[in-house]
Amino acid sequence: MRKNIVAGNWKMNNDLSETETLISNLLKQKQTSNAEVMIAPTAVNLYQAFNSTKNSNIEVIAQNMHFADNGAYTGEVSASMLKSVGIQTVILGHSERRAYFNETDELLAKKVDAALKNNMRVIFCFGEELADRKAGNEEKVVENQIKNALFHLDAAAFKNIVLAYEPVWAIGTGETASPEQAQDMHQFIRKTLNNKYGEQVSQDMTILYGGSVKPANAKEIFGKQDVDGGLIGGASLKAEDFIAIVNAF
């Protein structure tokens, strides 16, 4: 079912004490919208964060996971390990994972399968780079990212998938896609889903926008018809800013 979601991707920020402080500040804020709220602390702090948010409406989610259940993959974390500390949702395919850890569409397809097999929800990220947009190839790039990692799934699997369009040129740069650019791409994503899976999957899909969303621009971006929420980086590290974005619906 299509929902409004605001998810904070903390990336590699906040040690344990900073994690506790930020959560405690978040819990003091007043939420006036009914958007689902998620935070993604670093893996080592997930268990603590899960426990600290237990009696709240904040869902703690993971930033990444491996595709295998267990085994000789030094430094990695599996879906079942995440679930064992209470985590039900994982971000996959973030552009930083693609760029710095060589995550390909093929690898991401395996990760998506592993998450779904473990009954986890996936926030699947994708988006074009600046050169793609300058060349007018943004739709082709996005279409391929979605097709390559997700189109082996059946329609029912999409109930557990949220899409996050994040143009790489807008991440952490202060440069936001205009609300119209975001809307155009989200509409194109829905059309891509419609072509393969039909109207129901397309209309039920929750599609988030990510890339320099701030309290000052969130309302306008979330106001667009096909934008269902945001994946927030920098602005999720300050409780007041993050909740202001949550309340922008």
Report residue 197 CA to chain centroid gap: 22
Binding residue positions: 9-11, 172, 212, 233-234
223 binds ligand G3H, rule: CB under 6 A: no
The yes-or-no answer on residue 66 being catalytic is no
Nearest residue to 91 (alpha-carbon basis) of 46, 155, 26, 131: 46
Of 41, 93, 167, 234, the one binding ligand G3H (CB under 6 A) is 234
Distance separating alpha carbons of residues 66 and 76, to the nearest angstrom: 6
Question: In residues, how long is the chain?
Answer: 249
Minimum distance of ligand G3H from residue 173's CB (angstroms): 7
3-state SS record for 123-149:
EEEECCCHHHHHCCCHHHHHHHHHHHH
Cα angle 23, 4, 132 (rounded to 5 degrees) comes to 95
Angle at 149 between CA 76 and CA 151, to 5 degrees: 145
Read off the tokens for 87. Answer: 């985590």
Q: Does 211 bind ligand G3H (CB under 6 A)?
A: yes
Q: Taking Cα atoms as reference points, which of 223, 224, 222 lies closest to residue 232?
A: 222
Q: Name which of 39 and 201 has its Cβ closer to ligand G3H.
A: 39
Write down the catalytic residue from 94, 96, 103, 186: 94
Q: Which residues have CB under 8 Å from 128's CB, separation 6+?
A: 137, 138, 141, 142, 167, 168, 169
212 binds ligand G3H (CB under 6 A): yes
For ligand G3H, the closer CB: 192 or 212: 212
Active site residue 94: yes
Shortest CB 55 distance to ligand G3H, Å: 26
* Structure-token pair, residue 220: 């306008």
Residues facing residue 38 across a β-bridge? 7, 59
Binding part of the chain for ligand G3H, among 22-30, 67-75, 133-141, 204-212 by CB under 6 A, reads: 204-212
Q: Which stretch binds ligand G3H (CB under 6 A): 70-78, 188-196, 227-235, 238-246?
A: 227-235
Cβ-based nearer residue to ligand G3H, 202 or 236: 236
Question: Which candidate, 63, 71, 69, places its Cα nearest to that of 46?
Answer: 63
Candidates 23, 90, 213, 245: give the one binding ligand G3H (CB under 6 A).
213
Selected from 210, 221, 222, 239, the binder of ligand G3H by CB under 6 A is: 210
* Smallest separation, CB 240 to ligand G3H (Å): 15
Which residues, numbered 161-180, are part of the site for ligand G3H (CB under 6 A)?
Answer: 166, 171-172
Q: Are 231 and 206 in contact (CB under 8 A)?
A: no
Stretch that binds ligand G3H, among 112-120, 138-146, 154-162, 210-218 (CB under 6 A): 210-218
- Residue 132 CB, shortest distance to ligand G3H, in Å, is 17
Which residues contact ligand G3H by CB under 6 A? 9, 94, 166, 171-172, 210-213, 231-235
